[in-house]
Structure 1
Amino acid sequence: MSDGEEKREIAVWFLSNAPAGEIHYVAKDVRALLGDEAVYEAAAAEAFPEHNKAHLVALELPDRSGDIIITTYGELDKNNYLDPRTAQVATVDHIKQKCTKLRPAADEELPSAYIEDFRSALDVELSKYVGEAYPKGVCAVYCTSGKDIEGPGADFRFAAVISAAKRSPQNFCNGNWRSIWTLEFIDGLQLVEIKGKIQVGAHYFEEGNVQLDTNIDCKDSTILQSPEECAVSITNIIRHHESEYLSSLEESYMNLSDATFKDLRRKLPVTRTLFPWHNTLALSLTRDLTKELAIGK
């Protein structure tokens, strides 16, 4: 391996592992340390797209009709992503984290009317939930299999994606909430099987460097009904599991002992003031969790 290739791989690692909302700060330092623009550009071209997809980064659409989530479920190619809600395709500049162009989605990029009834109904209910639960949350529902099905009698799959973030570098903390729910609609059993993965990340870096990176897998199911009834049932299940996970995190942080923080390599400041969880919304994790790291103050 040449010296340039080794430097590129190291740079990719640092960029890819940057905490939520901090990749541009990391990139600035990596660029300066490398001192080689060609190597930096090669590393950035590789790392930024993977980082954006891994963190479900949400970008505002050029026409301000909403936000698009950068996820493999909507990826048409390296730089073009489908927004199923507006039936548009956005061209993304991964390094600048901006949408540069927008076009209507082609018919072959969209699901059939039958599938769209289920998808859009779930999107409506999920949007209501996310709007209530997350101060800066974004969601999307994608058809991942069976998008050309014209009516009952066949199975199809969706992915429901939720992304919420809190960026507060001036207060030395950033964090995000990511949850992906895969939904399998099984026609023969009249059943919807639900699998979820919730990921939470937070970084507190005032006079130290403390990170939280946690996740949990969930399973559930519901009866296959009309699009509207399915949407309500699935959303309620998602709400239940996410609320339950948040409650477990709250309990863990409320019960952390001083000894836990004393064992950290770099200690957080100590004020012995508990974070006021009772004053927050039940699911405002992206706003609160990063602050809760300050429980060690």
Structure 2
Amino acid sequence: MSKEELARDHILAMPDKVQAIARLVKQAPPGEFSEVFNDLRALVADDAMMCEEAANLCAIHNKDHFTPVKTEKCEVLLTRHNELEENCFLDPQNRVSFKYDHLKKVLSDFQDRPEEDKKGELWRRALHEALKAYISNHYPQGLCSVFIKDTAVRKIFVACIESHQYKPSAFWNGLWKSEWTFAWAPASTSTEVSGTITVQAHYFEDGNMHLTVVKDVEETLLVSDEIRTAQDFVKLVEKAENEMQNGLMEEYQRMNGTYLKSFRRQLPVTHTRLDWGKAVTARVLVARASQ
């Protein structure tokens, strides 16, 4: 079999290629979408397909990582919970919706949104203010958003927290995010809170080390008036996140030293570094030969 025939046999159909790219981009560390996308663009050597998929892939990345948006008109996290329609998001605190260009990071088409549920909004704002005070004390660059979803018999509140430090010049990026959900009905005296805390870090100076830690939380929250319930909810969040932080620090202390150094990847048996530039060039030449 010739090289050209071998290359053709390994070419993926367009839908399969798009799915493969999407899976790889989904693994992009926080704050590194552009770098991962551009690397894949060089490897795939199909600019038309990559440009067509860029906006959708970037949108998924932004929503997965609770990307913060801060302007004079709004201050909110981009999530699947406040996406009204494709690329259109709601800032419930400032009662405004807007369109967001994920690639250009540009906001447009601001629209005022009237308050639809005064009772539910009273609870949502109480939760937001209590959580915002917690964020200001624990996350210098953090942001939180609280969303409400109404059903026939109850209201569902979703609280999202995001804080990141991106330091590519120092060869590391890190993200802390958490998502909390509970339901409330007028006659309820307690509710179950479900939370997920996620920590991601990427260190890439003379190496490539990824850290991803996910912790699920299930707790019972007593329900009284909106102010007291909001305060108790924040105490629950603070307790769970402190336990997460302390656990990470204890694990780091155990790993520090010779054990941590063992994670460094050794050179291959040739004891020479792989020339990635040549590898990419060879891949592009094979792709062109198959066209």
State the secondary structure of the residue aligned to 2:255.
Answer: coil
CA shift digits 1:271-295 (9 cap, x unpaired): xxxxxxxxxxxxxxxxxxxxxxxxx
Structure 1 counterpart of 2:101, one-letter code: D
User: Is the Cα contact below 8 Å between 2:74 and 2:91 reproduced in 1?
Assistant: no
State the secondary structure of the residue aligned to 1:253.
Answer: helix
Match of 1:82 in 2: 90
Within 5 Å, give how 1:53-72 maps onto structure 2: 53-61=63-71, 64-72=72-80
Structure 2 counterpart of 1:223, one-letter code: L
1:41 pairs, out of 51, 62, 65, with: 51
Identity between Structure 1 and Structure 2 (%)? 28
CA shift digits 1:44-79 (9 cap, x unpaired): 133111111111111223xx2443211011010110
Structure 1 CA distance for aligned equivalents of residues 191 and 116 of structure 2: 19
Q: Which stretch shows the higher mean deviation, 11-20 or 237-246?
A: 11-20
Give TM-score, length-normalised by structure 1: 0.80
Q: Which structure: larger Rg?
A: 2
Structure 2 CA distance for aligned equivalents of residues 207 and 68 of structure 1: 36
User: Is the Cα contact below 8 Å between 1:141 and 1:161 reproduced in 2?
Assistant: yes
Aligned-residue Cα RMSD (Å) equals 2.0
Match of 1:282 in 2: none
Match of 2:205 in 1: 206
Match of 1:103 in 2: 111
Match of 1:258 in 2: 257
Structure 1 CA distance for aligned equivalents of residues 92 and 149 of structure 2: 12
- Cα distance, 1:25 vs structure 2: 1.3
Structure 1 counterpart of 2:140, one-letter code: P
Q: Which stretch shows the higher mean deviation, 231-240 or 167-176?
A: 231-240
Within 5 Å, give how 1:47-196 maps onto structure 2: 47-61=57-71, 64-105=72-113, 107=114, 110-146=115-151, 154-196=153-195
Structure 2 counterpart of 1:215, one-letter code: V
- Cα distance, 1:259 vs structure 2: 4.3
Match of 2:42 in 1: 32
- Cα distance, 1:12 vs structure 2: 2.3
Match of 2:276 in 1: none
Structure 1 CA distance for aligned equivalents of residues 19 and 202 of structure 2: 24
Structure 2 CA distance for aligned equivalents of residues 155 and 193 of structure 1: 13
- Cα distance, 1:157 vs structure 2: 1.1
Unpaired runs of 5+ in structure 1?
268-297
Structure 1 CA distance for aligned equivalents of residues 19 and 26 of structure 2: 10
Match of 1:238 in 2: 237
Structure 1 CA distance for aligned equivalents of residues 210 and 116 of structure 2: 40
Structure 1 counterpart of 2:119, one-letter code: Y
Structure 1 counterpart of 2:130, one-letter code: E
Structure 1 CA distance for aligned equivalents of residues 257 and 77 of structure 2: 39
Match of 2:29 in 1: 19
- Cα distance, 1:260 vs structure 2: 3.0
> Residue 33 and residue 128 in structure 1: after superposition, are their counterparts in 2 closer, same or farther (change >3 A)?
same
Match of 1:278 in 2: none
Structure 1 CA distance for aligned equivalents of residues 185 and 258 of structure 2: 50
Match of 2:196 in 1: 197
Structure 2 counterpart of 1:43, one-letter code: E
Structure 2 CA distance for aligned equivalents of residues 221 and 100 of structure 1: 40
User: Is the Cα contact below 8 Å between 2:74 and 2:96 reproduced in 1?
Assistant: no
Structure 2 CA distance for aligned equivalents of residues 193 and 4 of structure 1: 44
Structure 2 counterpart of 1:115, one-letter code: G
User: Is the Cα contact below 8 Å between 2:91 and 2:97 reproduced in 1?
Assistant: yes
Structure 2 CA distance for aligned equivalents of residues 2 and 211 of structure 1: 29
- Cα distance, 1:257 vs structure 2: 4.7
Match of 1:291 in 2: none
Match of 1:271 in 2: none
Structure 1 CA distance for aligned equivalents of residues 14 and 187 of structure 2: 56
Match of 2:274 in 1: none
User: Is the Cα contact below 8 Å between 1:12 and 1:46 reproduced in 2?
Assistant: no
Structure 2 CA distance for aligned equivalents of residues 103 and 186 of structure 1: 30
Unpaired runs of 5+ in structure 2?
1-10, 267-291
User: Is the Cα contact below 8 Å between 2:128 and 2:145 reproduced in 1?
Assistant: yes
